[in-house]
Structure 1
């Protein structure tokens, strides 16, 4: 009897130790995270309009993930045009989802910089913690200190060396680099992680001085390839895509895995196969900056999640349709046309809008091609415009030249649009080839004056 009582007592004591030990481990992780400084996040959806639904859905999902991870609203800054949740085409007004049958990710999201205040100037001001540079919005900035950790996630359309904002101007790689160098010089962070979802997103960092800034970057694609939308045309949302392939991959992985154990490197390795989609309708993720940072746990930047279980398998939603980001607007317009009743006014209006966009795309294609032929000859024009510099070299030597060439083109030939941004590399190659502004102006004028 005495022995039985001792065994029972031992088992009870062991149970208490195990339970307390588990709590102690979680407490140690929490104490460690609290000791490393404040976690900050800047979330940016760089587009507007219903067919770009996915960008705002990605950003809202990221907010919910960070919020559940323990980040405070005062340390999360959100940029989104905010024209999706209550859009007339939304089948669930006031709700945004990031995957088929997914939960609402819109509820509670801070409306820091919306509408016309969702712009590059405010983005730079927020990152630098410079309230005097802001024009409208909540006034919230990254008021970080030397021991703090910053996570920036940007989902948008892009081109070579450029990413969009709902309100012009766009953000060029050189300008972003200067802002981040200035942030580093201010000694107001310990480390920074930047995730970028956009076509040709690698070109925003390729060949630019990021090493030594304590910044780690992951991009959705290489410098010369497009990125892809996913969860396209599900029931009730036939005219749009609910997420972006890279974005939903890291978001869903961050929810599935224990973020105190999962590192940035492990996440990169775990999701890149999904993002590449076996080489078809996918893109190659890239890393830039101080790569040693990728050994850090996700929790340092995204907070903790303590999942009830983790898996080495990627249990993602299946049967996802992938669409090149540049073609999502066409998907939207074609769906509108196909779904409209025959002979109806809606049908004719949908056809008119679809035709207009197709003609605009053709106009941009032909205009850039013709300018290249004028400047470099019929045989060499296309070849020069398509040159891709070796890895490690920046897109262009003279960024002011590139900006001016884009402006010259748009002044004579109209807006490039998100589709036409794929030709920014061609303008960069004109600059690299020594073409002068007056030559570009004359060629654009000759091409588009009629």
Structure 2
């Protein structure tokens, strides 16, 4: 996009587990792109407002709520990206909000990227109301919320039994995914030697992409078992240490055959 001159200056807010890994040592600091992420490269972000038993899902996430409501209550032509980053970083309690890219842009007002003018309307619920109502879950575990709600509101022994089976199955799948990834790692380490730690980030990413695509094809996907996102760092570490992607893929085929 930069080479095609599709933007002058670009701001990205990313909400995802391990979202810092999308930019750390990857995003240049001189192409007029500033990024704020919900978490650093090694941790989950957090879903929020998960307590409503009738909806069976979390309605938001901690990071997005904080930066959007901060924008709503500021004079956006004066409040800077740097001030918003510091405010959001302090307000988000369960993950480490991080910044990447061109940090010179932190002196720019958020109104250049999120609209302009003076905000005058009331926010309704206060921050205290939000904090009191907040029911959080790690984003990678948020799918379990609906299963727990189903179990809590079961009206008969049969409903409770079915709800418990679904929850137990999901938890067992989570454990199975962890076990398969660990088996792949053990197989690789026992069968091959690393080529040495590489400083080429793009080469490492190519290795990881190839490995994940094959794991997803042969074993499980994040859509099937969201907790897989908690385990993928192990594949990235193998690539970082210099293990050949083909060796890792062969271990995946052996483990998940």
Name the TM-score class by shorter chain: 0.7 to 0.9
Say which SS state the counterpart of residue 127 (structure 2) adopts.
coil
Mapped contact 1:396–1:402 kept (Cα < 8 A)? no
Distance 1:357 1:235 in 2: 19
Which of 112, 115, 120 lines up with 1:303 in the alignment? Answer: 115
Q: How many Å apart are 1:441 and its aligned residue?
A: 3.3
Larger radius of gyration: 1
- Kindly provide the CA deviation profile for residues 365-395 of structure 1, in whole angstroms up to 9, marking residues without a partner as x: 0011111122225xxxxxx9xxxx9xxx786
| Aligned-residue RMSD, C-alpha | 2.6
Distance 1:399 1:283 in 2: 24
Task: Quote the residue 1:422 is aligned against.
Answer: 230
- Kindly provide the CA deviation profile for residues 190-247 of structure 1, in whole angstroms up to 9, marking residues without a partner as x: 211000011110100000142221111100111111111122214644x322210000
Report the TM-score when normalising by structure 2.
0.85
Which of 418, 434, 439 lines up with 2:242 in the alignment? Answer: 434
Distance 1:371 1:188 in 2: 42
Task: Quote the residue 1:411 is aligned against.
Answer: 217
Distance 1:247 1:394 in 2: 32
Which of 184, 201, 204 lines up with 2:19 in the alignment? Answer: 201
Mapped contact 1:217–1:287 kept (Cα < 8 A)? yes
1:360 aligns with 2:165: no
Question: Whose relative contact order is higher, 1 or 2, with alpha carbons under 8 Å and at least 6 apart?
Answer: 2
Mapped contact 1:207–1:394 kept (Cα < 8 A)? no
Distance 2:51 2:211 in 1: 37
Q: 1:394 to 1:218 in 2, by over 3 A?
A: farther
Which of 143, 147, 156 lines up with 1:333 in the alignment? Answer: 147
Distance 2:220 2:21 in 1: 24
1:258 aligns with 2:70: no
Say which SS state the counterpart of residue 288 (structure 1) adopts.
strand
Regions of 4+ moved over 3 Å: 234-237, 308-311, 346-349, 393-397
Where structure 2 has 5 or more consecutive residues not aligned to the other structure, the ranges are none
Aligned pair count reads: 245
Task: Quote the residue 1:46 is aligned against.
Answer: none
Say which SS state the counterpart of residue 217 (structure 1) adopts.
strand
Q: 1:300 to 1:366 in 2, by over 3 A?
A: same
Where structure 1 has 5 or more consecutive residues not aligned to the other structure, the ranges are 1-182, 378-383
Distance 1:445 1:322 in 2: 37
- Kindly provide the CA deviation profile for residues 7-29 of structure 1, in whole angstroms up to 9, marking residues without a partner as x: xxxxxxxxxxxxxxxxxxxxxxx
Distance 2:52 2:67 in 1: 21
Q: How many Å apart are 1:438 and its aligned residue?
A: 4.0
Which of 42, 49, 53 lines up with 1:231 in the alignment? Answer: 49
Mapped contact 2:20–2:40 kept (Cα < 8 A)? yes
Q: 1:310 to 1:358 in 2, by over 3 A?
A: closer
